[in-house]
Amino acid sequence: MSKQDASDGIPAAEAPAKRPPLNKYALACAILASMNSILLGYDVSVMSGAQLFMKQDLKITDTKIEILAGIINIYSLVGSLAAGRTSDWIGRRYTMVLAAAIFFAGALIMGLAPSYAVLMLGRFVAGVGVGYALMIAPVYTAEVAPTLPVHLSWRVMFLVGAVPPVFLALGVLAMPESPRWLVMQGRIGDARRVLAKTSDSPAEAEERLADIKKAIGIPEGVGDDNDDVVVVARKNKGTHGEGVWRDLLLRPTPPVRRILIACLGLQFFQQASGIDSVVLYSPRVFQKAGLQSDSNSFGATMAVGA
């Protein structure tokens, strides 16, 4: 608007506030935490190529391979159910480290397995790690990130899966703890410092801290690192165990009900599409199509995954 307009008494329009630059620290933390999904993706896809060689080496039947491949979804439930309580106990960050360590152990067991029974044991351990990772990674990301508008031996293939968890665990140690968990432990000062690093501005950090305290039920005016915070947080059943399940399943609010239906629908249609079976049996499909060499069918399967 021109100066003449302003002199005539017409208020000049305020320039829109410039959005602060993207917080690279928070983005890096969110990306690293999201890499936990690699554990499940690798664990599912590696069975596709490894099953060709496992069948020959361990002399196991197709039925056993099918059970070994599909049971990961059941085993991961164990880790998923335990992840919530564990993360409240030791924190989101160390829960991700624990998930990486469990998957690392499972990958080693599978890679060195001398029999089907030991292979199944490794599958169980790895599945628990996958469940932990897939459960806690989105929680950590949501609580830290600011608001934003060739032929290989099957044993080697499993052992390769032990490499990413090492880097993942080391990287997670450089990440801050979840601010929500810190507040629940009465460490408001630490939570404020984490929010200051992962927010676009000091005002946004204080606003997010106020929202966390309000959600937990901590009254305004409670000072930093006050033991009363822990007492209030533990009394608030909505943040723990049975209170969460009761509110989620028996008394969900309309927004929570819509989110629950969307999440259940997404997981149902993802599994109903049969993508796991497509990936698992791709080598056999390519062999039936004329690719007689294991190396060629395995290479074609890698192209499908890419």
Tens digit of pLDDT at every position of the chain (306 positions): 444 454 455 445 455 555 556 677 877 777 777 777 777 777 767 776 677 778 778 888 888 888 888 888 888 888 888 888 888 899 888 998 999 899 899 989 988 989 899 999 999 999 999 889 888 888 887 788 666 554 445 565 566 567 677 777 788 888 888 888 888 888 888 888 888 888 888 888 888 888 888 877 777 666 665 656 665 665 554 445 556 677 777 777 787 788 888 888 887 887 777 766 666 667 777 667 766 666 656 566 655 555
**What integer pLDDT is reported at residue 2 of this predicted model?**
46
DSSP string, 217-242: TPPTTPPTT-HHHHHHHHH-GGGSHH
Residue 166 has, within 13 A of its CA and on its CB side, a CA count of 8
In the chain, the amino acid numbered 192 is R
Please answer whether residues 173 and 212 qualify as being in contact, where contact means their C-beta atoms are separated by less than 8 angstroms.
no
CA 272 from chain center: how many Å?
A: 22
Cα 122 to Cα 71, 85, 102, 129, 149, distances in angstroms? 12, 24, 10, 11, 42
pTM of the prediction? 0.55
**What integer pLDDT is reported at residue 163 of this predicted model?**
67
Domains and CATH numbers, the chain: 24-175 (1.20.1250.20), 179-266 (no CATH)
Coil, helix or strand at residue 274: coil
Cα–Cα distance measured from residue 132 to residue 81, given in angstroms and rounded to the nearest whole number = 8
Q: What is the 3-state secondary structure (H, E, C) of 108-131?
A: HHHHCCCCHHHHHHHHHHHHHHHH
Cα–Cα distance measured from residue 130 to residue 258, given in angstroms and rounded to the nearest whole number = 26
SS3 content of the chain, % helix, strand, coil (to 5): 75, 0, 25
**What integer pLDDT is reported at residue 234 of this predicted model?**
58
